[in-house]
Amino acid sequence: MLALFSFGALAEQLVDVRIEGYQYQPAEVTIRAGDSVRWTNHEKRTSHSVLFPRDGGLESERLFPQESWQRRFEKPGRYDYHCGPHPEMKGVVVVGE
């Protein structure tokens, strides 16, 4: 799902990723520089996080059910991430120009 909001002439996007069934859905999102991604935990009782090991280990707070966290991506590149407590849960944000 996409939500649009404008900052001057630019239309920056907010892209939603669901966390459910020990998976990020979708596991891969492609955005443009300046866009944001918001992760929301839709589990019934399991908490998760979003951890970027190559970004200085930047990690969200632990997200309990119905909580969300978002990050704005300024620079193009490939941002692999995984869940802190469940490293087998993986996702990637691909940021284009």
48 near Cu ion, rule: CB under 5 A = yes
Q: Which range touches Cu ion (CB under 5 A), out of 10-18, 30-38, 47-55, 73-81?
A: 47-55
Strands 10-20 and 2-7: antiparallel
C-beta of 65: minimal distance to Cu ion in Å?
12
Phi-psi region of 19 (alpha: psi -120 to 50; beta: other; left: phi over 0): beta
Please report how close the Cβ of residue 86 comes to Cu ion at its closest, in angstroms.
3
Spatial contact of 69 and 47, defined as CB atoms under 8 Å apart: no
**86 scored as a contact of Cu ion (CB under 5 A):** yes
Q: Which is nearer to Cu ion, 33 or 92 (CB)?
A: 92
Q: Number of residues interacting with Cu ion: please give it, by CB under 5 A.
A: 4
Q: How far apart (Å, rounded) are the C-alpha atoms in residues 39 and 71?
A: 9
Regarding 51 and contact with Cu ion (CB under 5 A), the answer is no
The contacts of residue 7 (CB under 8 Å, 6+ apart) are: none
Q: Which residues bind Cu ion (CB under 5 A)?
A: 48, 83, 86, 89
